Chain A
Amino acid sequence: MIENVALLGAPNSGKTTLFNWLTGHQQKIVNYPGSTIDIFMGPVLSSLGTELQIIDAPGTYSLFPKSLDEEITRQTLYDDKFDIKKIIVIIDSTQISRQLHLVRQAQEAGFQIVVALTMLDLYAKGQPSIDIHRLSLLLRAPVVAIDGILGGGVKELVEVVKKLSNNFDRKELKTLEMWSLSRMQEVFREGELFLKEFAHHEKLKIFDSTESKDKIFLHPLFGPLIFICIMVALFSSIYWAAAPIMDLVDSVFSNLSQVLKNTLPESLFSTLITDGIVSGLGAVLIFTPQIFILFIGISLLEDSGYLSRAAALVDKPLSKIGLNGKAFVPLLSGFACAVPAMMAARAINSSKERMLATFIIPFMTCSARLPVYALLIGFLFSKEPLKAGLLMALLYSGGLIIGFIASGLLDKLIKNKKPSFFILELPIYRMPRMRMVIRNSARRTFSYIYKTGPIIMILSLALWALSTFPNYKESNPTNRLESSYASQIGKSIEPVFYPLGVDWRVGVGLISAFAAREVFVSSLAVIFNNTQGSEDTIKDSLLEKMNAAEWPDGRKLFTKASVFSLLVFFMIAMQCMSTFAAAKQEMNSLKFAIFQSLSMNLVAYIAAAITYSVIS
């Protein structure tokens, strides 16, 4: 009989670290029913004994939720599906008087609890530390000190959890009423009295050093400068550090596809494997290095304590467009991929602000736009790197500015249900530990693959089918595509593409880009019969083919005007099915997702048409 035990703790209390010590690598992600909130589950390490499964829901300050994250955590505890009777409440030993509430609330609700006391390493040697026995008397619950760095105390914690009684009916659990002010003050007083007598932590050195670091990081002039430097560093690492790994993934998959093509006999089945499944897998995995590196960057900033300062610094400007500082991380993540970005938006308290953030996330230049930009900019300015760089920067800021305008407009249009507020804990500065950073980033990356993988896979298969049938026996890929359903659709709606200055061939590319933007490049390659050649030359020879492409009447197809119009279209349009699915799931509203896609694509289409007619 496996018993479920929940972890309950405030953000920054060392909850995830404890979870990692308890479960090691055997973690799995479950979605809370009806939402995309991650709940992590894992059996305790066999060296610690068996029979326990640990459940890690998002951090919360109380059992009176103020955001979607916190709401899900509360529901998890009460949900019969998880059948939780025992809770490990994590208390940061430097924050006892404030976090005492959570202990009292869990007890009041009727759970059996044990308290895991963390962050004891912040007490310098020789300093009076906390009297654990006394604390246990005060809390009326067993207390185990946990060493987050070496994992000390974890075995003892498991022993204590096993001894807790589970001999009660979960129907006896109580839903709590919000505490009165006097009840809260009473608990604060309890904590403060205890600290006065049995611990002396108000004089901890770490608080002084945090204060002096804030003099620099939150300085009126240096603060914003450092912020900009850190962001530039993060962005360049997303692109430069990820590039070699992405190339590796790319070449592994194209080689795999090539090897399979050579070994398998030519048949429908072999093209399904090579062009459908393998390239679908490649599409799923190609951006994971970038997303992993983004998560490492965010984890580093988070664990060091800087991320909250960054959010505080940008709160004022973001409040002008109806957002708040907490939208910072979601928007930042949007530059890698909109899907994890939308997931990150859950921490935003007000539902209106969360909606605005989710709405404008796809305007951020995600990594899938890069290959498209690279190709089109390469076409315009192949020998002028300065102009090319400038145009790239323009497209990045263009997306950001349009997103901000959209948010500002929607902010005016939508009424607020709950008040907007910004109250953010600024944790102390600490040296991040690489092991935990990597492990947590891997955990988040897997969660991303797990959510988007199936959708991207299904769409690539659908796209493969559309571009293969009905003439699947044709061996020349260009002819096969030209007679396929995809191009039949493209040809029949060709007039739609005229205002953008392109024909049905580019139109097919645009349609296929709705699976994922970067697919635009590979479908152009197929359409313009550019499937031979090595990695390096594919782009160059595709550029040549694009240069040569003509309308039936002999005019050039790709001109400055039509390429600029395509760039503008890609900058604004919401073309990614995974993002559509994520938006629907996160907002729990198909209407929202449809409205978002339609309005963004309509604006993109109009803006691209205007661009075309102005330039030509």
Chain B
Amino acid sequence: MTRVSDLQPAVCKEIVDVTAEPFVRERLLEFGVAPGRLLRVLRKLPFSGPVIVQVGTLFIALRREEADQVWVS
């Protein structure tokens, strides 16, 4: 298992777990960041800024803290 924050851009992986605390996890799930779906890191903003990922047809910006809690295969 790898954290999304450690992924290199352009690699497409399957999400296996979302360990964020309930409130944040809910929002991630609502955005489609759910186990079983495919996720791709598009880019990481400089100075440890947000990570831009694509899940399905949606582009999402996540803080590194949130990306730390999304696990991919």
Contact = CB atoms under 8 A, between A and B. Distances in A.
Interface of A: 61-62, 64, 66, 94-95, 97-98, 101, 178, 181, 184-185, 188-189, 192, 201-202, 204, 207, 210-211, 214-215, 218, 220, 223, 308, 311-313, 315-316, 319, 324-325, 418-419, 421-428
B58 A95 contact: yes
A326 to B, nearest CB: 11
B60 A425 contact: yes
B57 A423 contact: no
B3 interface: no
B42 interface: yes
B49 A421 contact: no
B30 A62 contact: yes
B49 A313 contact: yes
Contact of B21 (A98, A220, A419, A426): A419
A311 B45 CA distance: 12
Contact of B27 (A101, A311, A423): A423
A202 B57 contact: yes
Interface string B37-66: 100001101111110101011111111011
A316 B24 contact: no
A423 B52 CA distance: 10
Contacts of A418: 23
B66 A423 contact: yes
Given A178-B26, A214-B52, A426 B32 contact: no
A118 to B, nearest CB: 14
B24 A423 contact: yes
A185 B36 contact: yes
In the A-B complex, the 9 residue pairs with the closest CB atoms:
A312-B61, A426-B59, A316-B49, A220-B46, A422-B63, A98-B32, A424-B61, A421-B24, A61-B30
Contacts of B27: 61, 66, 421, 423
Contacts of B16: none
Contacts of A62: 26, 30
B62 A423 contact: yes
Contacts of B66: 421-423
A311 B52 CA distance: 12
Interface of B: 20-21, 23-24, 26-32, 34-37, 42-43, 45-50, 52, 54, 56-63, 65-66
Given A66-B26, A319-B63, A422 B52 contact: no
Contacts of A427: 59
Contact of A422 (B34, B37, B50): B50
A59 B67 CA distance: 25
B29 A425 contact: no
Nearest to A315: B50
B26 A423 contact: no
Which of B23, B28, B45 has the largest number of chain A CB atoms within 10 A? B45
Given A312-B61, A423-B28, A98 B23 contact: no
Contact of B29 (A184, A201, A202, A218): A184
Contacts of A188: 32, 34, 36-37
Given A325-B50, A427-B59, 16 more contacts: A64-B26, A66-B26, A181-B34, A181-B35, A185-B36, A202-B56, A202-B57, A210-B59, A211-B42, A215-B43, A220-B45, A311-B61, A422-B62, A423-B28, A423-B63, A426-B61
B24 A419 contact: yes
Point out which of B27, B31, B35, B49 has the most chain A C-beta atoms below 10 A from its C-beta. B49
B63 to A, nearest CB: 4
Nearest to B48: A316
Nearest to A66: B27
A218 B45 contact: yes
A260 B31 CA distance: 59
A62 B25 CA distance: 13
B28 to A, nearest CB: 6
B68 to A, nearest CB: 12
A195 B26 CA distance: 24
B30 A95 contact: no
Contacts of A101: 30
Contacts of A207: 57
Contacts of B24: 419, 421, 423
B26 A315 contact: no
Contacts of A220: 45-46
Nearest to B29: A184
Contacts of A319: 63
Nearest to A101: B30
B42, B52, B63: residue with the most chain A Cβ atoms closer than 10 Å = B63
B50 A312 contact: yes
B38 to A, nearest CB: 10
A211 to B, nearest CB: 7
Contacts of A95: 56-58
A215 B63 CA distance: 19
Contacts of B35: 181, 185
B12 to A, nearest CB: 12
A185 B34 contact: yes
A428 B57 CA distance: 10
B50 A184 contact: no
B52 A426 contact: yes
B39 to A, nearest CB: 13
Contacts of B48: 316
A424 B23 contact: no
Contact of A424 (B34, B37, B57, B60): B60
B22 to A, nearest CB: 8
Given A214-B43, A424-B60, A316 B23 contact: no
B18 to A, nearest CB: 8
Contacts of B65: 421
Nearest to B36: A185
A422 B24 CA distance: 9
B58 A312 contact: no
B34 A66 contact: no
B43 A98 contact: no
